[in-house]
Chain A
Amino acid sequence: MANYSTNEFKGGLKIMIDGEPCSILENEVVKPGKGQAFNRVKIRKLISGKVLEKTFKSGESVEGADVMDTDLAYLYTDGEFWHFMNNETFEQIAADEKALGDSVKWLVENDVCTITLWNGSPIAVTPPNFVELEITETDPGLKGDTAGTGGKPATLSTGAVVRVPLFVQIGEVIKVDTRSGEYVSRVK
């Protein structure tokens, strides 16, 4: 894998830090008028998901990480692995629990997810921004209530719990924003 100098640092660049692939979120150069320049970099560790800051001397080189994103459709889980398929080549990839992390609660069959591969192996799964899921459990709502009040918790078919308006009932399908975990609307 190529090395990158600090002059090539920018948001989205994938580099190796402490043996772990990381994505650069922000890069700022701190240069005193008289003295050494530094790059203050905010990074996300792609396996642990941790966000941290690192300082480099400007001009230093850092090893790049062989990381790529690929869009694959979710097929099924066998309990140990979650299987995804490329809809064009029909090639399949299996991701483990660690790669899925919290995303497991937003997986809907046939939805296209972004799978992050490091040296060819999946290390992260990002669900679509919006998914549609059925409500399997929630308290009965009050007649006549409209959106607005605090709402109530509802459990979805994947086990995810979101706050929904009081009028939403068991058996209804709702649209959820997976980035915030918030209810968006009912799906007719």
Chain B
Amino acid sequence: MSHAISDTASECLWAPSASIDTLRQRAAIVSKIRMFFAEREVLEVETPSLAQASVTDVHLATFSTTFVGPGHAAGTPLYLQTSPEFAMKRLLAAGSGAIYQIGKAFRNEESGRHHNPEFTMLEWYRPGFDEFALMAEVDALMQAILDCPKAESLSYQQAFIQHLSIDPLTASLNELRLLACQRGHEHIAKQEQHRDTLLQLLFCMEVEPLIGQQAPCFVYHFPASQAALAQLNAEDPRVAGRFELYYRGMELANGFNELTDEVEQSARFDEDNALRTAMGLSPVGKDARFLAALAQGLPACAGVALGVDRLVMLATGKTQLKEVIAFDIDRA
């Protein structure tokens, strides 16, 4: 123990956490990503990191600050964006066509081997695509960058049935608690009252480590209760047009067949805020400009966000996020 403490103290915190060689590889990957989208005629855009609205998602914590300046003498609250999603959808509603962005996203309370509170996100939107067409494009990007095998894909339901012999769409709260107990998570299982928390626990701890080891693995048709900003499936409304991509123990991307209905979107914000209140968190003001853009008309589209730092980790064989960013939060 005394060991670990003296090691930390003696570390040179002025020096980068990534090697210069890794940063060179990183730059090459980022320029390959730009080429990938240039060839497909997807427009690169930049949207604000600081905005006047934030997200209602109960599991995202936002950094905030106050803008004081001409016209804002009393101080206007601004929020560092957890993703550029709302602003990019406003561009789509304004007729941008296919767009992508490589930029910083900010999430409070997240730090660890695969997390840094400030990270680089690649996000893109494809009008006219559904989630499966977009998954095929994500797969093409993965192969171009990582030279990896073609991705596998399975539904959320298949993933649970195959690896845990339980149907996540029909299992009762008690069945999920019992299974979590059997898998050594009795501490959480004995008191947890939310099905989705138990599903997320079982997925993170028991399914994720088993999938996407040889080839990247898409998991699609997430439960409607975890739809986030995805449309519900027209044929089976128990599931949503949401997918995630996993490779070698890491969650790499999250995509949606985007919800375009303003009324439904506003209702989901309200549901989030009701849940926030129940959890003892402050409700978050709904992004009125984003909702106005949906009312104006968001074209049918699919969109996805991909963690660039994690992609670089995979490409360079690094095991910690800080090894692929110039300065992690402890050196920032």
Interface residues of chain A, those whose CB is within 8 Å of chain B, are 7, 11-12, 28-38, 40, 53-58
Interface string of B161-189 (1 = CB under 8 A from A): 00000000000000000000000110110
Residues in chain B near residue A57, CB distance under 8 A: 188, 192, 197
- In the complex, whether B286 has a CB less than 8 A from a CB of chain A is no
Residues in chain A near residue B57, CB distance under 8 A: 34
Contact, CB under 8 Å: B112 / A32:
no
Contact, CB under 8 Å: B184 / A55:
yes
- In the complex, whether B276 has a CB less than 8 A from a CB of chain A is no
Residues in chain B near residue A55, CB distance under 8 A: 184-185, 187-188, 201, 205
- Report the contact-size class of chain B (Cβ under 8 Å from the partner): 20 to 34
| Nearest-neighbor residue (CB-CB) of B197 within chain A | A36
State A36–B61 Cα separation when bound (angstroms): 12
Instruction: Choose from B111, B185, B196, B254 the contact partner of A33 (Cβ within 8 Å).
Output: B254
| Nearest-neighbor residue (CB-CB) of A55 within chain B | B185
Contact, CB under 8 Å: A30 / B205:
yes
Shortest distance from the beta carbon of A82 to any chain B beta carbon, whole Å: 24
| Nearest-neighbor residue (CB-CB) of B227 within chain A | A34
Which residues of B307-325 are within 8 A (CB) of A? none
Instruction: Choose from B59, B113, B305 the contact partner of A36 (Cβ within 8 Å).
Output: B59
Shortest distance from the beta carbon of B164 to any chain A beta carbon, whole Å: 15
Contact, CB under 8 Å: B1 / A32:
no
Residues in chain B near residue A7, CB distance under 8 A: 109
| Nearest-neighbor residue (CB-CB) of A57 within chain B | B188
- In the complex, whether B264 has a CB less than 8 A from a CB of chain A is no
Contacts A/B (CB < 8 Å), 26 sampled: A12-B1, A28-B113, A29-B111, A29-B112, A29-B113, A30-B204, A31-B110, A31-B112, A32-B59, A32-B200, A32-B204, A33-B244, A33-B254, A34-B57, A34-B228, A35-B200, A35-B204, A36-B201, A37-B109, A37-B110, A38-B201, A53-B184, A54-B187, A55-B188, A57-B188, A57-B192
State A108–B197 Cα separation when bound (angstroms): 53
Residues in chain A near residue B187, CB distance under 8 A: 54-56
Contact, CB under 8 Å: A11 / B4:
yes
| Nearest-neighbor residue (CB-CB) of A7 within chain B | B109
Residues in chain A near residue B65, CB distance under 8 A: none
- In the complex, whether B248 has a CB less than 8 A from a CB of chain A is no
Given contacts A12-B4, A29-B112, A31-B110, 19 further A-B contacts (CB under 8 A): A12-B1, A29-B110, A33-B251, A33-B254, A34-B57, A34-B226, A35-B200, A35-B226, A36-B196, A37-B59, A37-B109, A38-B188, A40-B205, A53-B184, A54-B184, A55-B188, A55-B201, A56-B187, A57-B188
